[in-house]
Amino acid sequence: MRSPQENMLAVLDALEPEPLTIRELARRTGLPLASVHRVVTRLTAWGALERTPQGVRPGLKLFELGQLVPVRGSLRELALPFMGDLYAATHEVVSLAVLDGTDTVWVEQLAGRIGPPVPSRVGGRLPAHVTAAGKVLLAASPEATEALCANGLERHGPGTITDPERLRADLAAVRERGIAINREESRAGVLGVAAPVVRDGTTVAALALAVARRSRSSPELMAPAVRTAALALGRSLRMSA
């Protein structure tokens, strides 16, 4: 039986940007409706959730707490000018991501109306093996790679690498080239390219760009621009330290 604190964490972990009903939260968490109702009532009173006619969604208190995360602040602030330049040059979806355990977590993202429908969002996460940014980060973290392979490589798109040996070979190529390519691995119709952001010899983030499969652009054509922006951001991080 879960403790009240564990119930609260389970509900928070199940949230989405769009409103969810109590019943949907109960389905996602596996908790009884009464338990979810109690948690939602407490979180709403605190400001972590807000009610809408369609259900509950994250409230301003969670947003305020999120702004206190150091990686979101310093890294994002330094990265935004480089991300802006990359977006202005390509008009594709530009993302900045870090590794949390075996997941890719997006710190910032710039996207226009014509960008592909990527499965990522700021604050969202996906298993690292299904994104170009994640593969860049895994290439620098053998421990995370082995943990991910041990748990099984979940399929998310038609191109997802689900064989551990094939993933290890792909990551070796990423380390050699300094670039990772995503070929519909996170979602059908979405391609991507990412490069490591390195500070003092350590990969601290990944800068990525997503393009639609139907686009005239391609990950290979965009790779030099992404690599240049990532190198420039890495230099900026070193100078700010």
What fold is seen in the domain 4-65? Arc Repressor Mutant, subunit A (1.10.10)
Matching CATH number, 70-240, of 3.50.50.60, 3.30.450.40, 3.40.50.300, 1.25.40.10: 3.30.450.40
Angle value at C-alpha 229, between 128 and 125, nearest 5 degrees: 20
> What would the mean pLDDT of 109-117 be, rounded to a whole number?
68
- Which residues on adjacent β-strands are paired with residue 57? 50
3-state secondary structure of 185: coil
What is the token pair recorded at 107? 């710190």
3-state secondary structure of 115: coil
List Cβ neighbours of 37 (8 Å cut-off, separation of 6 or more).
22
Q: What's the rounded Cα separation, in Å, for the pair 48 and 240?
A: 33
**Segments making up each domain of the chain, as ranges:** 4-65, 70-240
Burial class (CB in 10 A: 0-12, 13-18, 19+), 96: buried
- Per-residue pLDDT at 222 exceeds 80: yes
- Per-residue pLDDT at 77 exceeds 70: yes
Name the average pLDDT for the chain: 87
Using one digit for the tens of pLDDT, what is the confidence trace for 8-29?
888 888 888 888 999 999 999 9
pLDDT attached to residue 169: 96
